[in-house]
Structure 1
Amino acid sequence: VQYVAYGMSALGVYIPYYQGMSHYLPGYDRGADQASDDSVNWKFRKLQTLVMQDYNAYAPDVQRAYLAFERQLSEKQKTMEQEYLKLYKSEPQKAQELLQNFEDKTMQDALNLTDSLTNQVFSKMTHATDMKYHFEGA
């Protein structure tokens, strides 16, 4: 298993990638030097860039959420690995399907959490900007 965090490790979530995966979710294979909504790399980078605007205010929430995700994931990994080893002896194809389903869910859950955190940070930034540059006509 290899653990990968996209972008800055201090503001990233480590996702396990197991040997034997047959595919990644759409978007994991996209990314260039221009931001795009269909790139997983850019989803993580957007959150990290927002957090860097006021690291002390926004980083702790992101780090707590990702740490909780990683801890829960570690327990799920143990369960999946035990089941995988049992299945592999007699049904290697089912074991591979179990592995791929675990990976698909993990990748999607990491993206869902990142999207949620991005909206949370953006909402806090919007409020902070409004307090700093309040416009009475809005």
Structure 2
Amino acid sequence: MARILALDYGQKRTGIAVTDEMQIIASGLTTVQTTQLFDFLTNYFIKEKVEKVIIGDPKQMNGTPSESAIYIEKFCEDFRIKFPKFPLIKVDERFTSKIAFQTMIDSGLKKKQRQNKGLIDEIAATILLQDFLNQKLF
């Protein structure tokens, strides 16, 4: 099997997570500057077998798109043009950043480490991906 890649897209940084080849466990991969995201993905797709890519779909509490949705939609359009063979699936990302921050606290990271926004983005992508995998099982 090939891996599934998850993106927690942001205007400045994008957190990236990936599954193992059996698509059972999600692990944080890295955080990249969003301006470098297409270069990173191009290189990653050359090195690794990827089946699909999921991306966080930001929604407000009432289910309507959030303010950042226009940036993600533009990225999705560009992604589909650049990488037409990879399915790109939007997944509701409400609360992933808050859950990521709480996960950092629960795991005992010091305050200085919790201020690393790149780490929060990577953990948020991991949570997004693990939630996707959990839903796939049912």
Confirm or deny a common fold (TM above 0.5): no
TM-score normalised by structure 1 residue count = 0.31
Tell me: higher relative CO, structure 1 or 2? Use CA pairs within 8 A at least 6 residues apart.
2
Normalising by the residue count of structure 2, what TM-score does the alignment of the two structures yield? 0.31
